[in-house]
A = this chain, B = another copy of it.
Amino acid sequence: MATYTPPLRDMQFVLHEVLNVTDELKLLPRHADVDADTINAVLEEGGKFASQVLFPINISGDTEGCTLDKTTHEVKAPTGFKEAYAQYVEGGWPALSCDPEYGGQGLPLVINQCMYEMMNSGNQAWTMYPGLSHGAYEALHAHGTPEQKATFLPKLTSGQWTGTMCLTEPHCGTDLGMLRSKAEPQADGSYKITGQKIFISAGEHDLAENIVHLVLARLPDAPVGSKGISLFLVPKFLVNADGSLGARNPVFCTGLEHKMGIHGNATAQINLDGAIGTLVGQPNKGLAAMFVMMNAARLGVGNQSLGLTEVAYQNAVAYAKDRIQMRALSGPKNPELPADKIIHHPDVRKMLLTARAYAEGGRAFAIWTALQIDKELHSDDEDERKESADLVALLTPIIKAFITDNAWIATSHCMQVFGGHGYVKEWGMEQYVRDARINMIYEGTNTIQSLDLLGRKVLGDNGKKLKAFGKLVQTFVEDEGTNEAMQEFINPLADVGDKLTKLTTELGMKAFGNADEVGAAAVDYLRVAGHLVFAYFWARMAKVALEKQNAGDPFYTAKLATARFYFAKLLPETAGLIRTARTGLAPLMEMDEALF
């Protein structure tokens, strides 16, 4: 009953009509040959994999969940997951954006971005297995020794092996400075790692023959806190000199969490009992090395929620066009039926359009950001690499927190469209809500993202990165200043930009007096910043749609209507957020701890 159609047309609109990615990619030596036909062909095939292989095992994967054999410590993923992964590997998908030096196809990240969106729409829990692997690939690619790279990157690129990131311990998640796992140097230059890790996504499973754990631990006599943490590579099976699998390393799954959602992904408790590992990067610099992986993972989490928003929207639309209930208040809209289709009821449309505007706005934002990463990695202009890196740094917490908060709203709305039928499992709508909820928590809670944005990325460099993004907005506003048809989009965009600038200055002054003012305002601030970004991309999309609206393709009509909806019904949320941000710290700290 559930349905999913890859949004290829909308992706092509963003890629080719709004962002002109092939023109941009032409300027990057590595990607100069990537043309639109290649991009479209890859995404069409990728869409088939997502909709025909992953989507059919999404609801069943949720119902069945993962199972742990406590004697062998082996985990079985839900029925069909292993076979889908085999198809994924056979199709060469893990290699899509990987380095050709290690067997990758070297395609730009904009393609990977779209591919992952579709896979997340198809099945978030499944997609976390290759998602974590790709994060491990990136961390090793950036910080691994030549030997580590030679041994592990080809296997991660092919997908033959998968990866994890082992950070959290029972007493510390956000505050990794408190972690206790220990690494003892061995005579042969390796380390024996001992400790207990929890919440390890894709931590144990039967999809691949080996699992490459990236583990944070402390060396003997390491400084206390976050400056004494090192990163280690700990494979499930040791690897022989010839690349074949050796002995089982004592890194065992001792339990699986029973969770609200993402049941198809194994959230493992991992016990390391003198497991053999090798150091990745410099001693005591493990957090920095891991952050390569975490930044990629944060963008990935935003993408999970983007995928959920899209698929929830599609299903809610299908239901709203089919379900009949009540007459419109203004008179029958389907007089031939015993009641009107619920898509004629204004608030049903409001719920649907909310999801649609968040999905399409998020898609444009996320693809644009992926393009910035391609520039950051492959531009031959150092300034451009730096500019792109700054924009990505600024926008990463917004992608993570704003898109995941929006998906929580959107998936809940889409479920509500189904009424009571949304609350029962058979339609899959409540699963989207449950799956979406974790995205607000892991890879740094959304509060942590907001502190990263306001404290570090904005105030931490005196607003320089924010100004760089603001300049893009300003240029666009000025360029369209004489375009009458664009005023309905440009004016509110300029307005929210001005207000964010003023708010930033005000908060900066306050934070100067008391650093906790940052924590009091950061969550509201991030949502206002997120709306500025969305307003910018919606205005850019509206511009293209306005230019082409008479071309006879109703796609542009829909795009314009959704843009107008965004500016009328979603952007005004900023009015309340700016007010609450400005009320500051005092109303939060007045009450003594004991009185809670």
Residues in B with CB closer than 8 Å to A339 are: 175, 177-178
Q: Which of B441, B515, B590, B594 contacts A329 (CB 8 A)?
A: B515
- Interface residue? A199 (CB, 8 A): yes
- Name the segment of A207-215, A282-290, A431-439 touching the other chain: A431-439
Counting every copy of the chain, the complex holds 2
Residues in B with CB closer than 8 Å to A321 are: 593, 596
Having A350-B588, A572-B576, one finds 6 other A-B pairs with CB under 8 Å, namely A168-B420, A173-B325, A173-B419, A178-B325, A558-B596, A576-B576
Docked CA distance A98–B51 (Å) = 56
Prevailing SS type, chain A contact patch? helix
- Interface residue? A465 (CB, 8 A): no
A-B contact list, 28 entries, CB within 8 Å = A174-B326, A175-B324, A177-B339, A178-B339, A198-B420, A260-B430, A260-B433, A317-B596, A328-B519, A343-B596, A344-B593, A345-B447, A346-B516, A346-B520, A346-B588, A346-B589, A347-B519, A347-B520, A420-B441, A420-B442, A558-B591, A561-B590, A561-B595, A565-B587, A565-B588, A568-B586, A569-B580, A575-B576
- When C-beta atoms are compared, the residue in chain B nearest to A171 turns out to be B324
- Interface residue? A522 (CB, 8 A): yes
- Interface residue? A502 (CB, 8 A): no
- Interface residue? A412 (CB, 8 A): yes
Docked CA distance A356–B330 (Å) = 41
The smallest C-beta distance from A312 to any residue of chain B, in angstroms, reads: 13
Residues in B with CB closer than 8 Å to A445 are: 416, 419
Q: Which of B258, B317, B423, B591 contacts A260 (CB 8 A)?
A: B423
Do A587 and B573 touch across chains, with their CB atoms under 8 A apart?
no
Residues in B with CB closer than 8 Å to A558 are: 591, 595-596
Docked CA distance A343–B595 (Å) = 12
Docked CA distance A395–B325 (Å) = 25
Do B258 and A516 touch across chains, with their CB atoms under 8 A apart?
no
Residues in B with CB closer than 8 Å to A557 are: 591-592, 595
Question: Which residues A575-589 have CB closer than 8 A to chain B?
Answer: 575-577, 579-580, 583, 585-589
- Interface residue? A49 (CB, 8 A): no
Docked CA distance A163–B375 (Å) = 66
Residues in B with CB closer than 8 Å to A520 are: 346-347, 350
